[in-house]
Amino acid sequence: MNKVDLLDLLNSQEYISGERIAEKFGVTRAAVWKGIADLKKDGYVIESKTNNGYKLIKSFDILNGYEIKSRLKDKNLGFDVIYKKITESTNSDAKKNAGENNMIIAAGEQTSGRGRYGRSFLSQNGGLYFTIKICRSNNFYKTEDITFYPLIMAVAASSAIYDLCGVNLCIKWPNDLLYNTGAGYKKIAGILTEASVQAENRDISYIIAGIGINVNTGEFDGDLKNIASSLKIIAGTDFDRADLLCAIAENFMNLVDSSRENLLEQYKKRLLTGMNISFAQNGHEYKGTAHGINENGNLLAEVDGKIITVQSGEIHFI
């Protein structure tokens, strides 16, 4: 009898007696008692009533492999799932994993969370950190379309966050998710997308899209407090991270299969425009206004009355 078997059984019944559980798995009553105690240690609430037995109360925000897998099961997205309570970086784990199936690697904490441009990403307990690794390339996303993946993750996550948490986030090009506090913007989530492309034929071996979301994290310390916030701070309540992960993964796969027009339309609805920005391109520093994006997802910035296309890099609000 392992934890998964026991959880499945408890989930399938209203009440079940210790005797019945022991019988079902061919174990002793003491082993059942220990199994129940272990689940309670993991955060599950299990009621026990004389004459009725054990009842699993619907769990809330328990982030583990069982919760992620069981919720993803109905969605039929075909992901292998790896969950680690703590890891260095789910993107690094995804790169090292030699599996050939699409997979999700999630963690409750990261000790060396990686951000864009070699920066670190603070990944404390209470947040949601995961990476979607797409190993099978499909017709639409060829090598030249690789830059659409960060946009896909930005749309997938912001719509799931709106649907499940009621928090409306905007996208700072290309893929920071920000909240407008009324007195400025604060970062809620960051996305790091990486890929491996074969040199001989430019085929994509895999795409890795990692996201870190400040879900149930408390107030940040020091300077971070002014630039970052969490869904919990905004909404005043905790959210179920396994539910959020599954909704994002489902949106992500739907967007991978949908048209580029649909993706860009949804992206534009949340894209921040009209802001004064600065950015670097070909060794020059520019100051201008974020105008929108083109059909390739590149930023269009207005600088001294002219439109400049920004293909990569990042922008700063002035």
Tell the residue number behind the tokens 């700072």, with chain if given: 172
| Interface with ligand BTN (CB under 6 A), residue from 59, 64, 91, 230 | 91
- Residue 219 CB, nearest distance to ligand BTN (Å)? 19
Cβ(81)–Cβ(68) below 8 Å:
yes
- Residue 20 CB, nearest distance to ligand BTN (Å)? 42
The span from the first CA to the last CA of the chain, in angstroms, equals: 59
Q: Residue 232, interface with ligand BTN (CB under 6 A)? A: no
Q: Which stretch binds ligand BTN (CB under 6 A): 48-56, 184-192, 225-233, 267-275?
A: 184-192
Q: Residue 179, interface with ligand BTN (CB under 6 A)? A: no
Which residues are 107's β-sheet partners?
A: 84, 129
| Interface with ligand BTN (CB under 6 A), residue from 35, 212, 288, 297 | 212
Report the largest interatomic distance among the alpha carbons of the chain, rounded to a whole angstrom.
79
Q: 32 vs 171, which CB is nearer to ligand BTN?
A: 171
Q: 22 vs 277, which CB is nearer to ligand BTN?
A: 277
Q: Is 10 exposed, middle or buried (CB count within 10 Å of its CB: 0-12, 13-18, 19+)?
A: buried
- The binding track of 104-123 with respect to ligand BTN, each residue x by CB under 6 A or -, is ------x--xxxx--x-x-x
Distance CA 130, CA 245 (A): 8
- Residue 171 CB, nearest distance to ligand BTN (Å)? 12
- Would you state the structure tokens that stand for residue 242, as one six-digit string? 């396994």
Cβ(193)–Cβ(94) below 8 Å:
no
Tally of helices (H runs) and strands (E runs) in the chain: 10, 14
Residues found near ligand BTN in the complex (CB under 6 A)? 89-91, 110, 113-116, 119, 121, 123, 129-131, 190-192, 210-212
